[in-house]
Amino acid sequence: MSKVYILDACALIAVLKDENGAENVAAIYEQANNGEVSLIINKVNLLEVYYGYYRDMGKDYADNILDNIKHSIVIISEFTDEIFKEAGRLKASYKISLADSIALAETIVYGGELLTADHHEFDVIEKQEEIQFKWIR
């Protein structure tokens, strides 16, 4: 099985808005397009991106972003009981969003690395959990 990267919302937004760290996400995106790695995002995390663009740019723009993403990133629409329970444990243990708890749980269960820039959310968790992070900045 190829290496698995899980995108959180801030990593996807970084590449979409060409923010600092976008080149790191783009490099992994290219590897995924070449079949070298798997790049996934949970639909809950993708919702964070979609609603932001919907709010700021309108429905058509948000739908266009979503259509483009669907062709290149694997979108997980549901989660297993294992991810469900792990996300619940993480949400109960740390003051994090539901979307973050799902991304972290998927990272654990899939044995992947979480692509993120959210040091303020995850630095404490990185010290306490055996979760692999790929910091984009």
This prediction has a pTM of 0.93
Residue 44 in this model has a pLDDT that exceeds 80: yes
What is residue 124's three-state secondary structure?
helix
The b-or-e profile of 62-94 (16+ CB within 10 A means b, else e) is beebbeebeeebeebeebeeebeebbeebbeeb
Mean of pLDDT values over 99-118: 97
In this predicted structure, what is the pLDDT of residue 71?
79
Read off the pLDDT of residues 51-84 as tens digits, 9 standing for 90 and up. 999 999 999 999 999 999 987 899 999 989 999 9
With 0-12 / 13-18 / 19 or more C-beta atoms within 10 angstroms meaning exposed / middle / buried, residue 118 is buried
Residue 1 has what pLDDT? 62
Task: Yes or no: say if 11 and 117 are a contact pair by the CB < 8 Å rule.
Answer: yes
Other beta carbons within 10 Å of 130: 6
Asked if residue 100 lies in contact with residue 107, where contact means CB atoms within 8 angstroms, the answer is no
Q: What is the percent of the chain where pLDDT is above 70?
A: 99
CATH class of 3-135: alpha beta
| CA-based R_g, the chain, Å | 14
Half-sphere exposure of 1 (CA within 13 A, CB side): 8
Confidence of residue 92 (pLDDT cuts 50, 70, 90): very high
